Amino acid sequence: MSQNGTPLENQGYSRPALAERRPTRRIQVGSVAIGAGAPVSVQSMTTTKTADVEGTLAQIYDLAAAGADIVRCTCNEAEAAEGLAHIVPRSPVPIVADIHFHHEMALAALEAGVQALRLNPGNLRKPEEIKMVAREAKDRGVPIRIGVNAGSLHPDLYRRFGGATPEALVESARMELAYFEEVGFEDVKISVKASSVSLMVAAYRLASASFDYPLHLGVTEAGPPPSGLVKATAGIATLLCEGIGDTIRFSLTADPVEEAVAGRQLLEALGLRERRDIDLIACPSCGRAEIDVIGVAKAAQSALEGRNLPIQVAVMGCVVNGPGEARHADLGIAAGRHRGHLFIRGKIVRVVPEDQMVEALVEEAERLVAEGVDARLAAADENAAAEAEADRRALLDAKGADANRAGQRVEMIRKAVTGEP
């Protein structure tokens, strides 16, 4: 079972368990529960001007379709707050207002009906203004994210801790919490983001040990893909594997839809969310490959994604080890002697011409999801296994482990070392 209680997508494959999710308080962002064992949620942020209601809504709908559970919009001026009043009731997901310098914008966003606020304690610094916002949020039942950022830490904390250290980031959150506690506001989640992966990981570990509030994970300003994806994944995945984190955002210099896709894919890969679409795996290719593995894998990915087929599909370059190595996949195909060996959970079910491999994968994937594994195994071509074994043996003779007479060479080496004739 996955950690949110849903079955893993591949029952024939034993996935090592992640660390237990740390216990936290539960908050509610609109219809989305966060913390206390709720499924880890995916967030992103619009890049449109919030005053552009139709443009912002179009992007929100794209984000929701890509896997975002919550979307954040900037609220930096009166026109943005007015835009939120039109956006919130038409949004398919809860909306968080992003607030930095002006507490008036937080109050206006609350009037607009947003389901949550994000306050940056490094930019909104006056205690009475912070407490005023917290009182209003409490009266409306609206949670607040304390969004600490290493790049905008309060100057006093820089001096006190000698820079943006994990301790400085956590202390910033602790100071904000103290203001909230003065007015009895506890509906909180926390983030302690940094653009340095190592600093981010250390800060969240300390925050996890210091607070029982849910944590929002992210590597801020990760940059454009592919390097941004690598950095964000390194930080977020590390913490999720340790059981830390309740909601995530990939902060990429790219179309925000890419953030939502990446976040959803990461959670699915870790078994923290149920799979919604295809998970394609492929061998890295080698000298035994009978096809252009990279080309076929890309073609298969393009043909299969977006069809809402929640299965794992494998593309293997040869039949020598392919079906065995990918036996945990729901469906796969391996190339051999200008043919494709189609297999389900490691069992060969059809042999098709090489130029029909991708087409056969798509057809079988749709049937597999519609009919189930048992039905498709029962419908297997009775001659497929024998044909595949003949191809495998022929290729093993030509390109197998001893194709270069390694065994004979080893024997000659032993004789040379021992002096035997």
296 shares a domain with 195: no
Q: Does any domain span residue 9?
A: no
Instruction: Say what the pLDDT of residue 8 is.
Output: 36
Q: Report CA-CA distances (Å) from 160 to 26, 134, 146, 200, 203.
A: 33, 26, 20, 19, 16
- Domain contains 5: no
Write the pLDDT tens digit of every residue in 199-244. 999 999 999 999 999 999 999 999 999 999 999 999 999 999 999 9
- Mean pLDDT of all residues in 164-180: 97
**105 belongs to a structural domain:** yes
Higher pLDDT: 64 or 278? It is: 64
The mean pLDDT of 105-120, rounded to a whole number, is 98
At residue 11 the predicted structure's pLDDT band, cuts being 50, 70 and 90, is very low
Q: Which of 63-72, 216-225, 354-363 is predicted with the least confidence, judged by mean pLDDT?
A: 354-363
Query: What's the pLDDT band for 393 if we cut at 50, 70, 90?
Result: confident
Is the Cβ–Cβ distance between 185 and 144 less than 8 Å? Answer: yes
- SS3 state of residue 280: strand
Last residue of a domain, one of 216, 242, 269: 269
Least confident span in 45-54, 192-201, 355-364, 385-394 = 385-394
One domain, residues 340 and 257: no
Residue 166 scores a pLDDT above 60:
yes
DSSP of 56-82, one letter per residue? Answer: HHHHHHHHHHHT-SEEEEE--SHHHHH
- Average pLDDT for residues 304-317, to the nearest whole number? 90
Amino acid in the structure at residue 12: G
CATH code (residue 152): 3.20.20.20
Number of domains in the chain: 2
What radius of gyration do the chain's Cα atoms show?
27
Q: Is the pLDDT of residue 104 over 60?
A: yes
Whether residue 41 has pLDDT greater than 90:
yes
Strand partners of residue 25: none
304 neighbors 278 (Cβ within 8 angstroms): yes
- What does pTM read for this prediction? 0.84
**Average pLDDT over every residue of 266-287:** 88
Contact 66, 261 (CB under 8 A): yes
Domain of residue 246, residue span: 27-269
- Listed residues 222, 248, 269: the one ending a domain: 269
Average pLDDT over residues 152-175: 96
Q: Is residue 11 part of a domain?
A: no
